[in-house]
Chain A
Amino acid sequence: MIELDCRDLPCPRPIIELAKALPGVAVGDLLAVVARDPAARHDVPAWCRMRGQEYVGEERADDGAPRYVVRRLT
């Protein structure tokens, strides 16, 4: 799974990185973004809804930072 390290990026940079990385993921595969920015918790699911992708859920990276997982659908 591709994981984007956006730990120290402010909003909306984690979402911009997510959008840029999506074309490099095969349809059906997972893509994760690690972000401490509190807006990402709301904006990753909202991005999935607006862009027609699947929001899989929130996990923790090894250092405890929130990791949001997305599945490419289109």
Chain B
Amino acid sequence: MSSTPEVYLDAASSERLHPAARDTLVAALERGYADPRRLHRAGRDARLLLDNARAVVADALGVHPDEVGFTSSGTDAVHRGLLGLTAATGRDGIVHSAVEHSAVLHAAAWRPSPATTSIGVDATGRVDLVALAAAAAAPGVGAVALQAANQEVGTLQPVDEAALPDGVPLLVDAAAAVGHVPLPRRWSVLTASAHKWGGPAGIGVLVVRRGTRWTQPFPGDDGLEELGGFPNVPAALAAAAALQAVLAERDEVTARQFGQVATIRAAAAALPDTEVVGAAEARLPHLVTFSCLYVGGDEIVDELARRGFGVASGSACTASTLEPSHVLAAMGALTHGNVRVSLTRETTDEQVAAFCAALGEAVTAIRERAGL
């Protein structure tokens, strides 16, 4: 094994803490420990920090501070968001694309309903808008869930083009998109996850637009002020600081990443029996997925790790279950030999070039072992 540090290419699973978040977190740990509901000085300090975090996140997302709540994760935000919509409408049916994050699929399965429908996608992973609108109009549908961008293949969904019936609210899971691309505008509820943009883990964001029929679905009081118990004030403020910093750098970083991903897409497509998966242009700037015939997902992850690159895979043999990625399956894509590369804000052109070279070597080596 080489002693060279690993080149981390799995930002879509979790981005490294942004330096702005680190400084803010350390300062806020000193000041933001108290209960923000208390009227003593320490409580007022914590309240000030929490309000500041909400205001910064609201400004970054283009919403009002009183529309923003912090949860314990992106998954938690999706669960509370979706189930809060169905609880408020009294209709348990959830219409969602087949390529949503498992948090959405799990929420949809929580209260089985005949109106719950999974909507298919095309070969690039883009949802069928006609089928989505038709399913949303069925009786018993309490909410529609459509992601801003896909977490595995990077395809952007045409959220603002969705023609949904009046009274059927839309939840947009923006966890993969926030900080990377402009967000859709037409939604009632939006969710995100701070560690995907360089904030700390343990902070999700739940935005509920004013006027939306939404209620807290789990035990506790209504409202976004206190979701799931005592708030993590320092982490919320650090998440807000990271988001602010990431958005300030976004144009420069994403332009660079878009080109770097185009380089990796071309290198992967040039390999024999290898298919790049997902939209070529309407995509996240920093993420690319491809699948190589006759290659095990665990083998390619291991071979790339030995060459100094850390990547993810949607193949079954790398998952905790034997089931392959539901996203790749819904797209009709090859599920084995899958590699997902997601660049960090610091990935360099040199690292991308070295990765492309290592990829070709790794695939060739694995196929030779298989006798092909």
Chain A binder among B90-98, B102-110, B327-335:
B327-335
Asked whether A60 is an interface residue with its Cβ less than 8 Å from the other chain, the reply is no
Distance of A46 from chain B, by nearest CB (Å): 4
Distance of B152 from chain A, by nearest CB (Å): 14
Chain A binder among B80-88, B279-287, B317-325:
B317-325
A16 / chain B contacts, CB cutoff of 8 Å: 294, 370-372
B337 / chain A contacts, CB cutoff of 8 Å: 12
B322 / chain A contacts, CB cutoff of 8 Å: 37-39
B324 touches A39 (CB 8 A): yes
Size category of the binding interface on chain B: 20 to 34
A15 / chain B contacts, CB cutoff of 8 Å: 293-294, 336
Asked whether A11 is an interface residue with its Cβ less than 8 Å from the other chain, the reply is yes
A11 touches B334 (CB 8 A): no
Do A11 and B332 contact each other (CB < 8 Å), given the known contacts A16-B294, A19-B372, A50-B275?
no
A39 / chain B contacts, CB cutoff of 8 Å: 315-316, 322, 324, 335-336
Asked whether A29 is an interface residue with its Cβ less than 8 Å from the other chain, the reply is no
Do A50 and B334 contact each other (CB < 8 Å), given the known contacts A19-B294, A38-B322?
yes
Distance of B295 from chain A, by nearest CB (Å): 7
A38 touches B323 (CB 8 A): yes
Distance of A28 from chain B, by nearest CB (Å): 23
Asked whether B154 is an interface residue with its Cβ less than 8 Å from the other chain, the reply is no
Distance A12 CA – B371 CA, assembled complex (angstroms): 13
Residues B278-308 near A (CB distance < 8 A) = 291, 293-297
Asked whether A59 is an interface residue with its Cβ less than 8 Å from the other chain, the reply is no
Q: How many A-B residue pairs have CB under 8 A?
A: 67
Chain A residue at smallest Cβ distance from B333? A46
Asked whether B273 is an interface residue with its Cβ less than 8 Å from the other chain, the reply is yes
B336 / chain A contacts, CB cutoff of 8 Å: 11-12, 15, 39, 43
Distance A11 CA – B315 CA, assembled complex (angstroms): 9
B334 touches A43 (CB 8 A): yes
A47 touches B334 (CB 8 A): yes
Chain B residue at smallest Cβ distance from A47? B293
Secondary structure call for the B interface: loop
Provide the A42-74 mask, 1 if CB < 8 A to any CB of B, else 0. 110111011100000000000000000000000
Distance A46 CA – B370 CA, assembled complex (angstroms): 19
B335 touches A11 (CB 8 A): yes
B333 / chain A contacts, CB cutoff of 8 Å: 42, 46
B294 touches A38 (CB 8 A): no
Distance A46 CA – B9 CA, assembled complex (angstroms): 26
A10 / chain B contacts, CB cutoff of 8 Å: 296, 317
A12 touches B295 (CB 8 A): yes
Do A42 and B370 contact each other (CB < 8 Å), given the known contacts A10-B317, A16-B294, A50-B293?
no
Distance A43 CA – B291 CA, assembled complex (angstroms): 11
B335 touches A46 (CB 8 A): yes
Of B291, B293, B297, most A-chain CB atoms within 10 Å: B293
Of A37, A41, A46, most B-chain CB atoms within 10 Å: A46
Distance A35 CA – B332 CA, assembled complex (angstroms): 18
* Contact partner, A11, options B273, B275, B317, B329, Cβ 8 Å: B317
Residues B169-218 near A (CB distance < 8 A) = none
Of the A-B pairs whose beta carbons lie under 8 Å apart in the complex, a sample of 22, sorted by A's number, is A11-B296, A11-B335, A11-B336, A12-B293, A12-B295, A12-B296, A15-B293, A20-B372, A37-B322, A38-B322, A38-B324, A39-B335, A42-B324, A42-B329, A42-B335, A43-B336, A45-B332, A46-B291, A46-B332, A46-B334, A50-B275, A51-B293
Partner-A contacts on B (CB < 8 A)? 273, 275, 291, 293-297, 315-317, 322-324, 328-329, 332-337, 370-372
Query: What 8 A-B pairs are tightest by C-beta distance, nearest first?
Result: A12-B336, A46-B334, A39-B324, A42-B329, A11-B336, A39-B316, A42-B335, A39-B335
